[in-house]
Structure 1
Amino acid sequence: MMSSFSIVNHKIDPTRGATALKADGTIDNNDRVEIGPTDVAFAEWEQLGLTAPNVERMRKTRLNRIVQQLRQRDYAGVLCFDPLNIRYATDSSNMHIWTMHNPSRAVFVSADGYVVLWDFHRCSHLSTYLPLINEIRDGGAGFYYFVAGDAEEPIAKQFAGQIDELMRRCAGKNRRLAVDKIEIPGLRAMEAVGIEVCNGMQLMEHARAIKGVDEINAMRCSLATCEIAVGKMRERLRPGIAETELWSVLHAENIARGGEWIETRILTSGPRTNPWMQEAGPRRTIPGDLVAFDTDMVGPYGMCADFSRTWYCGDGRPTDEQRRLHAIAYEHVMTNMAMLKAGVSFNELTERGHKLPAEFVDQRYGVMMHGIGLCDEYPAILYPQDFIPGAFDYVLEPGMTLCVEAYIGAVGGREGVKLEEQVLITDSGFENLTKCPFDPALMI
């Protein structure tokens, strides 16, 4: 039994037929383009010898990962409002940034792989080409105050009724439902109909942690696009350029290749590199500055390319102090990368990691390493000073992807250095996926 406002999705897109396909298996139709890479990106990847992901197979792999996690935990299904979890489950995209703070979309995945998407009102046409979505329902998942006003509770009650019906149909007596994020009226409405709400974010983070071959290929492609864009930034770097002007190059080159957005705006110069986490502003660089940045770039296929570099600005020679800071950051990253292999526990990485010199401990980066996929993901590998017993009691597995980080800047120091590499855990160790060169002027 389908909802009266459902669109039953076709398992095979009738528009595909014998139509020409792109390198990633998506339809090559200029008038109906799925969100994804441009011709420029495909040409660059081919020149670099990269293999595009098979998008259809990537979607199936991701859905299977979710189903596997549901069955392991004996959950009837998972309900996701987080746009990145929706993207992972369905590959459906609609106003990602806007829906991060206006939760208008949701997806339900049952333990047997039945998928229902609630999209923003009158947006069902955006996802009808996705064969793994069994139903698309128009609206109904938005019960936050901006759109629901003082009718939040009745709208949430109506939505909870739909979830209740789906769970009874798909899972019978199993009332355990994983939910990643939900507005308070929605949570209360779910509990009122007897649904046991469980930790959906934990489930989705663990599903997303292991990347299949197509996700890894998508990540390689996104990283290549990011590195090309960073190369354009390097060409533009000169004394007098504003931080925001330089940062805009990364955005423009990413979008031109079918990338999607930038998670942060962390690019700073000169004294604004210490302390870290300041955002790009109007400051104009001067000769002899360090310029440091963290890409945090969500590129083609929604895959995050997250590495950091610090450059010297100008034609002179870096100071001994600038080169010292860079050398310590480089040693920290490379030493910690060398520990990576399947079977190593997260706790061991914290305990055995490279020890920062005392002068840099107070302004250490937030993590030694973190997972990466559609965004920064599980796990967080913490410094000993920030360790949380029992929080990440797991081990590295083949197919995990991590970012290894360092920020080196003393309290009261004039400058700091930020470096970061993105890596893949393999059966025998790790592969550094990052090809962007370090600034030779700063390498000792």
Structure 2
Amino acid sequence: MCAETVPGEVGGGGMNGDRTNGVDLEHLRAGRLARLQGAMHRHGVEACLLFNEPNIRYATGASAMPVWSTTTFVRCALVPAEGMPILFEHPNSMHLFGELEAHVRPMHAWEFTDGVASHAAIFARETAAAMRELGVTDDRLAIDRLGTPGFLALQAAGISIVDSAPMTMEARGVKTPEEIEVLAMGGQVVMEMLRDVESAIRPGVTERELLAVLAATLLAGGGEHLATNTVCSGPNTNPWRAEATARALERGDLVYVDTDSVCLEGYFFCVSRTFLCGDASPTREQREAYRASHDWLEAMKDLVRPGVTCRELAERAPRLPDRYLPQRYECMIHGIGLEEENPSVAYPGDPQPNPDTALEDGMALVIEVYAGEVGARHGVKLGDEIVLTADGPRNLVPYPYCAALLR
């Protein structure tokens, strides 16, 4: 077990009230909108139509039914390069956003109707009218995702569709001071999540029961939902990318947890820790995999500085022992914010998605590693979420490592 590594008090066990009290949420929203509109100006785009939940939230501060909204087209935001956005909201959710500095009006959805094309045409006409209302003179509209009926209807209305990702990813890459403040508060919730799930690890408990602990602490702390169900034990830890099952933990199992949680104000936390179940002594193979992961993660964090490019990070990265490379994690570093973001750093020898992107002060990043031999009964996953500063990385969730696995 790893209990000796847990600080005397990781957190308060849940705080009453809103944990974002003290954060100027109006300034948070205004700062994000300014960054997005600045990126739109740089790309020569007059308007974006955003259906992706994190993009809507980034531009307007509005979130409603976020999990369901990711699979439907029932709400969107029309964002001009200058001025306030128009939020097309689900009619039954409009009352939630009376205080937002955005124009809120009902969304005319085409889904779940018999006359999909005709309803999509109404949506397209309303979108075109709103563009004119906002002073948009270009017929180009940058969009993040859109179902086929909406796409065809906008085309029929004379609107030319381009990709909004170059603008949204550019804007979201560097966090505002208020975003960093909210991330720091969310990090405390995630500390409590890891503390509570580690305290619940014992022989006989199931992976799903541990997942329930993780979710309960997230929700009690003001977070929103889990994005994955990554609590795995014993043979389910190898290969990586399993999710929680009804398997009961056994003494001596490794148990890894990836928080993958949407926390305060929608900010995402992707932090990984691996624990030892019960009072067993770890095997040599378990200790070696844990040590390799630990040493790699600490060495990689030392390399992360403003100004270094993703290509340079890949070239300078510490090397995992060869026996773990066939099942290496898909990347070494990725951006984080309201969802997984740019940039990303792949392993040396793998294609680099953002080779020339230089890290900047204010970026939020996840650095993570998986060590598991092909065919082994166990694997180790470790990962930290950091904010980059001029002095190097600031760990948002400095949860301790497992001392028993480092001996």
Aligned to 1:139: 107
Aligned to 1:27: none
Match among 33, 38, 41 for residue 15 of structure 2: 41
Aligned to 2:3: none
SS of equivalent to 2:222? coil
**Aligned-pair CA distance for 1:428:** 3.1
Task: Find out whether 1:56 has 2:26 as its counterpart.
Answer: yes
- Aligned ranges 1:141-180 → 2 under 5 Å: 142-144=109-111, 147-149=112-114, 151-180=115-144
**Aligned-pair CA distance for 1:438:** 0.9
SS of equivalent to 1:75? coil
How many positions carry a matched residue from both structures? 396
Q: Structure 1 residues 333 and 393, CA, compared in 2 at 3 Å: closer, same or farther?
A: same
**Aligned-pair CA distance for 1:84:** 1.3
**Aligned-pair CA distance for 1:40:** 4.3
Task: Find out whether 1:310 has 2:271 as its counterpart.
Answer: no
Partners of 1:287 and 1:55 lie apart in 2 by 46
Any idea what the Cα deviations from partners look like across 1:222-279, whole Å, max 9, x if unmatched? 1101111211111111111101101110101111122100010011111110001111
- Aligned ranges 1:90-105 → 2 under 5 Å: 90-105=60-75
Amino acid in the other structure paired with 2:65: M
Task: Find out whether 1:188 has 2:152 as its counterpart.
Answer: yes
Any idea what the Cα deviations from partners look like across 1:75-132, whole Å, max 9, x if unmatched? 11111001111111111111100111122100011010321111113321011121x2
Partners of 1:195 and 1:214 lie apart in 2 by 36
Moved over 4 A (4+): 42-45
Task: Find out whether 1:268 has 2:238 as its counterpart.
Answer: no
Partners of 1:42 and 1:401 lie apart in 2 by 27
Match among 321, 326, 339 for residue 362 of structure 1: 326
Partners of 2:247 and 2:362 lie apart in 1 by 41
Partners of 2:92 and 2:364 lie apart in 1 by 37
Unmatched runs of 5 consecutive residues or more in structure 2: 1-11
Match among 88, 96, 121 for residue 118 of structure 1: 88
Partners of 1:349 and 1:215 lie apart in 2 by 25
Match among 365, 377, 387 for residue 351 of structure 2: 387
SS of equivalent to 2:141? strand
Question: Is the 2:311–2:352 Cα contact (8 Å) retained in structure 1?
Answer: no
Question: Is the 1:76–1:167 Cα contact (8 Å) retained in structure 2?
Answer: no
Partners of 2:13 and 2:160 lie apart in 1 by 47
**Aligned-pair CA distance for 1:312:** 0.7
Any idea what the Cα deviations from partners look like across 1:138-197, whole Å, max 9, x if unmatched? 121x223xx134x22222222122222232333443222210000112112222233221
Normalising by structure 2, what TM-score?
0.93
**Aligned-pair CA distance for 1:44:** 11
Question: Is the 2:207–2:244 Cα contact (8 Å) retained in structure 1?
Answer: yes
Partners of 1:279 and 1:431 lie apart in 2 by 29
**Aligned-pair CA distance for 1:346:** 1.4
Any idea what the Cα deviations from partners look like across 1:384-435, whole Å, max 9, x if unmatched? 343146x553111111000000000011111100000111111232222222
Task: Find out whether 1:414 has 2:372 as its counterpart.
Answer: no
- Aligned ranges 1:322-337 → 2 under 5 Å: 322-337=286-301
- Aligned ranges 1:235-274 → 2 under 5 Å: 235-274=199-238
- Aligned ranges 1:2-13 → 2 under 5 Å: none
Cα root mean square deviation, aligned: 2.0
Unmatched runs of 5 consecutive residues or more in structure 1: 1-37
Q: Structure 1 residues 281 and 172, CA, compared in 2 at 3 Å: closer, same or farther?
A: closer
Partners of 2:254 and 2:18 lie apart in 1 by 30
- Aligned ranges 1:224-243 → 2 under 5 Å: 224-243=188-207
Amino acid in the other structure paired with 1:67: Q
Aligned to 1:206: 170
Aligned to 1:23: none
Q: Structure 1 residues 62 and 39, CA, compared in 2 at 3 Å: closer, same or farther?
A: farther
Amino acid in the other structure paired with 1:312: L
Q: Structure 1 residues 167 and 253, CA, compared in 2 at 3 Å: closer, same or farther?
A: same
Normalising by structure 1, what TM-score?
0.85
Task: Find out whether 1:405 has 2:368 as its counterpart.
Answer: yes
SS of equivalent to 1:311? strand
